[in-house]
Amino acid sequence: MITVKSLFKKYGTNEVLNNINIEFDKGKVYGIVGENGAGKTTLFRCISDLEEYEGEIISNPNPVKNHLGLLLTDPFFFQKITGKEYIQFLCNARNVKIPNIEEKNIFELPLNQYASTYSTGMKKKLALTAILLQGNDFFILDEPFNGVDIQSNIIITEIIHKLKALNKIVVISSHIFSTLSDTCDEIHLLRNGQFIKSVHKTDFHILEAEMKQITIGNKIEKLGLT
């Protein structure tokens, strides 16, 4: 379980996160939604201990970062590292031995090619494969569906269901509501660094309708399309 209590984060005078309180339980999938700049990635970086913050994050096991698979929105790769070597590197970092990496290549990536030559979607799939093979208990997936083809989206959705069944904690952010409604148990709406709404699966359709109403409003009419 991970508990975030009274979390604040500022960059200079710019307050990015403002009194965040949330609890993540085992065997549950959480969705975090919000506009660009709402603070999703900063929240993930704070939970991961990549950022310093004010407040408290309590986790079991502790420290959470050593059991966390973090998929970044835009994964970074070294020049001249192959897909296979990238997976090897991330597994070495957690002392995990994978005898046959090719066997685990469910996205059928060209593992012997340099990862820097991969497309955006392939890079995301490679980074996801690597953190899955690390054997983590907790996953933060920052826009896992972004840039990924439909077939792989289906696989990723199934992977998330499997992680839930294995009693792992999964936190996802996505800009595609359907991907969250397919996978999440709870969705939390982040705006200006604060959670302004939290809903359970039964009320996802209400949240989606509300978001549509707030987001679209009469903006399309303003375009005056004819």
Partner 1 sequence: MTNRKFQDVGFNPQLAYILLTVLFAGLSIFLFQKTEFAIYIYLLIALTLLGKLSETRRTEFLKICYGDTQLKKIRIIENLIYSIPFFAFLLYKHLIVYAGLLWLLTTILALVNFRTTLNFTIWTPFSKRPFEFMTGFRNSFYILFAAYALTIIAVLINNFNLGVFSMLLVFVTILSYYSKPENEYFVWVHNQNPKVFLLNKIKTALLFSSSIVLPIVLILAIFIPQNIGIILFFFLVALTFLISVIVVKYAAYPDEINITQGIFLALCIWFPPILIILIPFFFKKSENRLSRLLK
Residue 86 touches partner 1, criterion: CB under 8 A? yes
Site for partner 1 in 4-63 (CB under 8 A): 48-50, 52, 63
Q: Answer whether the bond into residue 63 is a cis peptide, omega within 30°.
A: yes
Tell me the DSSP string of 1-36: -EEEEEEEEEETTEEEEEEEEEEE-TT-EEEEE--T
Residue selected from 93, 196, 209, 214 as contacting partner 1 according to rule CB under 8 A:
93
Which listed range, 28-36, 110-118, 149-157, 199-207, lies at the site for partner 1 (CB under 8 A)? 110-118
Residue 76 touches partner 1, criterion: CB under 8 A? yes
Number of residues that bind partner 1 (CB under 8 A): 31
**41 and 74 Cβ atoms separated by less than 8 Å:** no
CB of 197 to partner 1, least distance (A): 31
How far is 19 from 8, CA to CA, in rounded Å?
5
φ/ψ bin of 82: left (φ > 0), alpha (ψ from -120 to 50), beta (otherwise): beta
Residue selected from 84, 164, 168, 188 as contacting partner 1 according to rule CB under 8 A:
84
How far is 210 from 218, CA to CA, in rounded Å?
14
Residue 117 touches partner 1, criterion: CB under 8 A? yes
Q: Which residues contact partner 1 by CB under 8 A?
A: 48-50, 52, 63, 65-67, 70, 72, 76, 78-82, 84-86, 88-90, 92-95, 112-114, 116-117
